[in-house]
Amino acid sequence: ETARACAPPNGHPTYDHVMAERIGIFGGTFDPIHNGHLVAMYAAREGAALDRVFVVPAADPWQKSTVSESAVDRLAVVHAACDGREGLEVLSLEIDRGGPTYSVDTARALRAPDRELFLVLGADAVHGLDTWHEADELAALVTVVAVGRSDTPTPVAPSTRWRLQAVAMPRVDISSTDVRKRLATGRSVAGFVPDAAIERIAALGEERRQFLIRRQQRDPQLHGRSVLIIDDDIRNSSDHAGKLCLQPGCSRICSFLIDWKHQGEL
C-alpha cells in the first residue's frame, strides 16, 4: 500500500508493476477434488510467490449452456475442500458460462491492470501448450507455472512465445479417477480427499438417495432398479455410520448415480 501510494503519477513504470497481485489460475475437472490438487496448488503458490490461487472447476463440456447438476455438485465439493484456506479462492466462472471453456477465455475474464496472471499446470501438460486454443493470446496473458516432481526433467516450453516457470512438488500419486474407483467400490478415501469434501460428498449422496426414493414412490417401474441397489448399499453401510470417512453407502450411491447419468438413465 505504501509503495502504491508513492508510485509516480507520470505513467512510466511504477511500483504498480512491482505491487501487482500475483494470481494463479488452477483449472481442472475436480471430479472430485483431492489432496494431490491441494499439494499442487500450495506448491505453485509458494514456488511462484502467488498471492492467491483461483481454483476454477471446468464446466461439463457436453452441456450447452445451462449449468448442469454434476457441475454444481463438483463445485460444492471444491468449495468444501477450499473455503477458509488462506490464499485459495474458488471461482465458478467456467461452470456459470457452461459448455467448453478455453483457458484463454478464463484468462481474459480474470485479467486486470493490477494483476499478473499465472496459469498453473501439471508439468506433463507443458509439451502440448502450442496446440491450445489461441496459444499466442494465452501466452501473452499468462506466465505458465509448471508443477512437477523435482526428480523428473525440468519442463521446457514448446516454443518461445511462452513464459514458463517450473515449480517442484513431491509426488502425490492420487487421481480423481482413483478416488472415483474407491468410492464406487465402497472403499474409504480418508486422506485422499480433504475431510470437509468427504462430508460434502456423503451429504450429496444422501440427498440423492432421498430424491430417488421420492421418485420411486411416484413411479415404481422407472426407478425400481436404482432404489434396489441403493437399499442394498445402505444395509452394507450401517457398520460404518459415524466414522469420519465416506460412508460406503453414500459414496456408492454417488458414483452409481454418476454412471447412470452418463448412461442416460437419470
Amino acid letter for position 233: D
Query: Least CB distance from residue 82 to ligand ATP, whole Å?
Result: 13
The Cα–Cα gap between 266 and 245 comes to: 27
Out of 23, 25, 38, 40, the only residue in the binding site for ligand ATP (CB under 6 A) is 40
Query: Least CB distance from residue 77 to ligand ATP, whole Å?
Result: 12
Cβ neighbors of 233 (< 8 A, separation 6 or more) are 186, 248, 249, 252, 253
**121-140 binders of ligand ATP (CB under 6 A):** 121-122, 125
Establish if 63 lies at the interface with ligand ATP (CB under 6 A): no
Establish if 155 lies at the interface with ligand ATP (CB under 6 A): no
**164-183 binders of ligand ATP (CB under 6 A):** 172, 174-177
Establish if 37 lies at the interface with ligand ATP (CB under 6 A): yes
The Cα–Cα gap between 85 and 105 comes to: 26
Among candidate residues 81, 92, 113, 80, the one with its CA nearest the CA of residue 27: 92
Establish if 184 lies at the interface with ligand ATP (CB under 6 A): no
The Cα–Cα gap between 234 and 237 comes to: 5
Decide whether 40 or 250 has the Cβ nearer to ligand ATP: 40
Query: Least CB distance from residue 133 to ligand ATP, whole Å?
Result: 16
Among candidate residues 13, 22, 51, the one with its CA nearest the CA of residue 112: 22
- φ/ψ region of 11 (left if φ > 0, alpha if ψ in -120 to 50, else beta) reads left
Interface with ligand ATP (CB under 6 A): 28-31, 36-37, 40, 121-122, 125, 172, 174-177
